[in-house]
């Protein structure tokens, strides 16, 4: 079994994903997410494909029913993303109903697909003849890309060949039009690039890779077409080899980068890879929320200016979090640098995980780091999760990533003849895979991220020396490690970010990693204007937030301030109502009452009555990703910091 | 001559505007703005009415030419606002060309108006039969309101009766439909309410007031119709007697309040007035930028949540500044409290004045308090002024207010038999008006706001005692006053905010007010998250900003930080290139270089390498309203404050 992004044998890839023979998430957060994904989210998504008309659109295209096309032009993509989610779930265990859904939908797509391979219900039903006439907005190749990804998932998960057949015919058609054809068009919404490379990895058809490469190179030359938000919004202002930074629509930009790295990896194009990696560094340094959320400006859903990261207003679209993880995963494979896994963890456990309610029913599209007490009253547009959306990209972006999560836990590499198994993410999992000249079995047991102890037991191992590499997150300042050879050794990461244990391993050998989860206060860079004078609370990989429901004595979250020498008491809950297992953090804090002057919320420095009043209170924080499961009150991540 | 908002003799109005027999702005900022208004802005606006198609739309409606309707549905309103601007300009001095424009446009409107009084080029040309079918968005009454305001201005300024005739016929038609008719409709964009009361003040027709009153009372009952932004966006969620706060689209909300106060004043409805005044206090306390700018959220152009006042992202629409001044002016007349004149001054000299370039050619629609260095590069949508807009509401909102500015300088009242002349705003002006039983002449000479000295000379006075009341702005902490009786007396304001000098005055009597313009640092209320840890520089009524062009040694504005004990050196310029007269402020400051940790713009408190580096520099600020007349570099009002 393999997951998303599996470079070919000839790809230039420092790491490779595991080809799993057996795997099971045996507990903890990832397992909780996957269980709710299967039991609640995926069935609900399938219902919505009926209610919103996505499947009917395809049935009309197939000539099976009458009716009018419903929804935005990219309705097919939701079907494909749910199909992909279903495929990953079927990889975990059999499910006749889910298998039947996959089967019947493949049927439907075969019937809807036109003779020349074209498949898009909007253009077949609502705008016949409009095919490829307004690529800047049509999402035709975007939808095709999601079909390819669904087909690749179904093939990797269930050995399906029918969806793959539909995808191949569509890809062949696209190659004829966009590779052999006269018009140098490309889609206003990148996505097909990474999908074509993945399809190439399954089919071995060089034209799939060639088309992906051509589309990547074609971008940034003003060929996308005119759009009200301009060329930058569609990443069409500079070629991908030249653009210094991510600009424009965040999800578009991030999907494009996944495709850029895929093409670079398969073609061995080091300078193309370097260009993408440079943009990743710029994004991390200047445009990334503490939660990993990306795309700070709501208008246009774009990356904003450098350091424009308002906690209340940042959009941080759920799809952008998912796309960021996909891009970072590809960079991790290409380079073997742990910093990409660090960002995956930050994004996954914070911005991404916060999108879905704990019960798996509702989603945020935008994931701000603050919600004010009057958010509903002020503009009548309460900032809460919803089951589905007119533009429903985000829910199935969650289900397809959660469905394939175990594939992001580990990678393998070989350097100077030493095979190495890298544990990239920590969760309770058992896995078995081909490794070196034999097979490797590992059992990971941990309560991470609630506790910092990670026990790794070798259950099966090839003979001869090999290395176990453990990613050491940079926030873990006092990391210790117990190995069969030594107990309690201080750990430092190597230049790539891993603690590497090279030895001959026997079944039963156990390593225990002790990560340092001491709660810490995090300060923003002074250029991040919107959170100046604030600190955030982090514990291990988790960003914390203060929700109104947890505060005592009616203290308003918006009046809370922390002291620089704040000490946190950890309060573990086995099953906090509405939230599940968690570790809350409790501390002494101050409630600050501000002053007005002449009725205005401003006052002269040094003027009379000029000191804001403070009183001591107790404040409680919970992990950000668990917010808004207990009412729609105020929430904030960045807390005012009292003068030290 | 009288200006905007002239309550009738029976209105319940604590103050009344002056009925000017003579007036002249003799120098200073107001004169500068008026001169450029007449010489540049108004001619340009007239050109744009031709280029954008506004006048052609009306010509098509009049059957004088063929063609298609161009622009948004409210194109007529721009014509009316330019007409109003022209009328106020004609009040100042004769201008054959301008008089001809007024005349020819009145002709055109007479011909375009339908037999039943209806007049709206969009519905006559582009959607015949669509009349009043989608009031939530149609702006039909909104446009009618602007026509009435133009007609009232033309009547007050030039004794015009032709425009007034068109407006009366339209108002009569509206009364038939919306007062006598069956459907309780109302416009999604308030404006006609205040206009109808003004028309009533000129015509004395009770039905004009009755319709205004009905429309005011009708709002807030869900009758506006469904809209994607919801009822709050159109102020239709709560009746105006109940709504506790301004919500939704800022310009709509503010125009509505002007109408509410107009109706309350003419009908003597104290509780209606109190409801509006309560909302004004809430707005000032929680939703007002330091510059007076209103409407903090770009999406929907709405008032945001309480204390949501991001300096970089706040919309602060120019029309909202103008509408706020109109509302505050009406509250000032109704109550006689100086705090309304205080906000007028703050808004006029900062948010409003910043909208137009010094040369009078270009405008901002949005007026943020910060511009980042990469604003153009990041999203390809440079934040600069423009000559005109597809939705061109703002430029003529500036020209019509600037054209009538002198009317906001003073008011009269009579309390316990004592007639009082209140100077509300300080600028160089001469004026003569009927007063008490005779005539009053005043000459005000000042370099305000550059200097704090205001010399008021009585040039003509009725016999007997009367009072001269001078508004004392709350920021002037050490105010002194020279009167004919005493020199250098310390001044304190009375409960309404004025220093009141009651005596018998002789021609030649002079009073000199010395306002304290010492530059000060202003701190935000701690609930204003977006500018925590910052201070703004103010001097007298002016908010200052730091522009990149004024900084030395290549220091980036975004790296500057001020010390709490900052002392400013005042640098007066008689004519700073591109800006005109100004007083710049120079001070020692720090340039702060922030640190990243693990590539992210965040760092652990107390971690290694954890101190941002500071170096001493010189920093220079100029008045905010003069910004962006010398290049498109970074600008900021709120500056990081170093620990004290």
> In chain B, what residues touch A299 (CB-CB under 8 Å)?
298-299
Query: In angstroms, rounded to a whole number, what is the distance separating the alpha carbons of residues B315 and B347?
Result: 14
Contact B55, B71 (CB under 8 A): no
> Model ipTM?
0.94
Contact A421, A442 (CB under 8 A): yes
CA dihedral A306→A309→A313→A317, nearest 10 degrees, is: 90
Across chain B, what does the average pLDDT equal? 95
At residue B606, the pLDDT reads: 86
At residue B93, the pLDDT reads: 87
Question: DSSP state, A623?
Answer: E
A378: helix, coil or strand? Answer: helix
Tell me if residue A394 is catalytic: no
At residue A644, the pLDDT reads: 66
Using alpha carbons, select from A82, A362, A504, A599 the residue that is nearest to residue B286: A599
Q: How many angstroms separate the CA of residue B407 from the nearest CA in chain A?
A: 25
Contact B274, B335 (CB under 8 A): no
**Hey, are the CB atoms on A612 and B237 less than 8 Å from each other?**
no
Contact A462, A436 (CB under 8 A): yes
> In chain A, what residues touch B290 (CB-CB under 8 Å)?
600, 602
B91: helix, coil or strand? Answer: helix
Among B229, B528, B597, select the one facing A601 at the smallest CB separation: B528
First-to-final CA distance of chain A? 54
List, by residue number, the catalytic residues of B.
301, 393
pLDDT in tens, B438-484: 999 999 999 999 999 999 999 999 999 999 999 999 999 999 999 99
pLDDT in tens, B185-200: 899 999 999 999 999 9
**Residue B534 half-sphere exposure, CB side, CA atoms within 13 Å?**
31
> In chain A, what residues touch B600 (CB-CB under 8 Å)?
284-285, 288, 290
φ and ψ of A439, to 5 deg: -130, 150
Among chain A residues, CA nearest to B235: A379
Question: For the stretch B110-124, what's the b/e string if a residue is b when 16 or more beta carbons lie within 10 angstroms of its beta carbon?
Answer: eebbeeebbbbbbbb
> In chain A, what residues touch B644 (CB-CB under 8 Å)?
643
> In chain B, what residues touch A370 (CB-CB under 8 Å)?
529
Helices (H), B93-220: 96-112, 121, 135-138, 140-158, 162-175, 192-203, 206-218
pLDDT below 70 — which residues of chain A?
608-611, 644
Question: DSSP state, B37?
Answer: I
pLDDT in tens, A155-206: 999 999 999 999 999 999 999 999 998 777 899 999 999 999 999 999 999 9
CB proximity A339 to B under 8 Å: yes
Query: In angstroms, rounded to a whole number, what is the distance separating the alpha carbons of residues A277 and B1?
Result: 69
Among A526, A638, A644, select the one facing B592 at the smallest CB separation: A526
> In chain A, what residues touch B305 (CB-CB under 8 Å)?
312, 372, 374-375, 378-379
Residues 6+ apart with CB under 8 A from A596: A603, B285, B525
Q: Residues of B numbered 186-245 whose beta carbons fall under 8 angstroms of chain A's beta carbons: which are they?
A: 229-233, 237
Question: What integer is the mean pLDDT of B92-105?
Answer: 94
pLDDT band at residue B416 under the 50/70/90 scheme: confident
Among B529, B558, B638, select the one facing A527 at the smallest CB separation: B558
Q: Residues of A numbered 473-512 whose beta carbons fall under 8 angstroms of chain B's beta carbons: which are they?
A: 474-475
pLDDT at B377 over 90: no
Among chain B residues, CA nearest to A524: B602
B109 Rama class: left (phi>0) / alpha (psi -120 to 50) / beta: alpha
Among chain B residues, CA nearest to A305: B378
CB proximity B285 to A under 8 Å: yes
At residue B1, the pLDDT reads: 86
At residue A214, the pLDDT reads: 97
**Hey, are the CB atoms on B306 and A372 less than 8 Å from each other?**
yes
CB proximity B382 to A under 8 Å: no
Among B306, B534, B601, select the one facing A307 at the smallest CB separation: B601
CA A102 to chain centre: 24
Query: In angstroms, rounded to a whole number, what is the distance separating the alpha carbons of residues B258 and B262?
Result: 6
Query: In angstroms, rounded to a whole number, what is the distance separating the alpha carbons of residues B588 and B639?
Result: 13
The label of the residue with tokens 């920021």 reads B475
At residue A610, the pLDDT reads: 57
Contact B358, B295 (CB under 8 A): no
> In chain B, what residues touch A624 (CB-CB under 8 Å)?
none
Radius of gyration of chain B (CA): 25
**Hey, are the CB atoms on A558 and B297 less than 8 Å from each other?**
no
Catalytic residue selected from A301, A317, A406, A547 = A301
pLDDT at B643 over 90: no
pLDDT at B644 over 70: no
**Hey, are the CB atoms on A297 and B592 less than 8 Å from each other?**
no
Q: Which residue has the higher pLDDT, B146 or A596?
A: B146
pLDDT at B579 over 90: yes
Catalytic residue selected from A319, A393, A394, A534 = A393
Q: How many angstroms separate the CA of residue B254 from the nearest CA in chain A?
A: 16
At residue B297, the pLDDT reads: 94
Q: To 10 degrees, what angle do helices A54-61 and A42-51 make? A: 50
């Amino acid at each position: 079994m393999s997951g998303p992004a599996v470079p070919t044998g000839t790809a230039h890839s420092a790491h490779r994903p595991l080809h799993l023979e057996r795997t099971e998430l045996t507990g903890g957060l990832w397992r909780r997410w996957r269980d709710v994904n299967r039991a609640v989210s995926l069935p609900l998504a399938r219902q919505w494909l009926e209610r919103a008309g996505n499947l009917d659109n395809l049935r009309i295209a197939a000539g099976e029913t009458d009716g009018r096309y419903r929804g935005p032009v990219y309705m097919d993509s939701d079907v494909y993303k749910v199909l992909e989610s279903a495929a990953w779930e079927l990889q975990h265990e059999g499910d006749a109903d889910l298998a039947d859904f996959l089967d019947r939908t493949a049927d439907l797509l075969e019937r809807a697909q036109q003779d020349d391979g074209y498949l898009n219900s909007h253009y077949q039903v609502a705008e016949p003849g409009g095919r490829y006439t307004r690529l800047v907005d049509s999402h035709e190749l975007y939808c095709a890309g999601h079909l390819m990804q669904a087909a690749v998932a179904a093939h990797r998960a269930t050995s399906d060949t029918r969806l793959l057949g539909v995808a191949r015919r569509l890809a062949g058609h696209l190659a004829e039009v966009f590779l052999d054809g006269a018009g140098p068009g490309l889609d206003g919404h990148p996505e097909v690039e990474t999908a074509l490379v993945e399809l190439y990895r399954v089919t071995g058809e060089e034209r799939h890779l060639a088309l992906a490469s051509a589309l990547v190179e074609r971008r940034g030359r003003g060929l996308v077409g005119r759009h009200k938000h301009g060329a930058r919004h569609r990443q069409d202002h500079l070629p991908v080899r030249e653009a210094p930074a991510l600009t424009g629509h965040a999800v578009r930009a991030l999907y494009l980068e996944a495709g850029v790295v895929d093409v670079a990896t398969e073609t061995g194009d080091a300078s193309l890879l370097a260009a993408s990696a440079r943009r990743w560094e710029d994004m991390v340094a200047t445009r990334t929320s503490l939660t990993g959320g990306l795309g700070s400006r709501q208008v246009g859903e774009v990356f904003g200016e450098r350091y424009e990261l308002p906690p209340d207003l940042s959009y941080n679209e759920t799809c952008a979090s998912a796309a960021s993880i996909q891009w970072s995963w590809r960079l991790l494979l290409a380079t073997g640098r742990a910093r990409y896994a660090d960002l995956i963890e930050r994004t996954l456990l914070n911005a991404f995980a916060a999108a879905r309610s704990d019960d798996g029913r509702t989603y945020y599209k935008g994931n701000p780091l603050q919600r004010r007490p009057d958010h509903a009253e002020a503009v009548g547009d309460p900032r809460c999760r919803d089951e589905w959306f007119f533009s429903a990209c985000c829910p199935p972006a969650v289900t397809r990533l959660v469905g394939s999560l175990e594939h992001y836990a580990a990678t393998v590499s070989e350097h100077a003849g030493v095979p190495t198994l890298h544990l990239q993410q920590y969760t309770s999992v058992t896995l078995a895979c081909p490794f070196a000249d034999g097979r490797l079995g590992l059992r990971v047991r941990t309560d991470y991220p609630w506790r910092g102890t990670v026990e790794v037991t070798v259950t099966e191992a090839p003979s001869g020396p090999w290395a176990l590499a453990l990613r050491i997150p940079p926030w873990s300042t006092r990391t210790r490690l117990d190995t069969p050879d030594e107990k309690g050794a201080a750990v430092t990461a190597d230049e790539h970010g891993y603690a590497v244990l090279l030895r001959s391993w026997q079944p039963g050998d156990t390593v225990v990693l002790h990560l340092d989860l001491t709660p810490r206060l995090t300060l923003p860079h002074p250029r991040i204007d919107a959170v100046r004078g604030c600190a955030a609370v982090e514990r291990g990989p988790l960003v914390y937030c203060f929700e109104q429901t947890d505060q005592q004595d009616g203290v308003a979250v918006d009046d809370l301030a922390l002291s620089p020498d704040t000490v946190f008491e950890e309060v573990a809950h086995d099953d906090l109502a509405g939230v599940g297992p968690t570790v809350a953090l409790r501390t002494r804090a101050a409630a600050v009452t501000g002053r007005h002057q002449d009725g205005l919320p401003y006052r002269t420095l040094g003027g009379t009555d000029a000191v804001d009043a403070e009183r001591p209170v107790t404040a409680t924080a919970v992990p950000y990703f668990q917010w808004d499961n207990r009412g729609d009150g105020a929430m904030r991540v960045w807390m005012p910091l009292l003068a030290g």
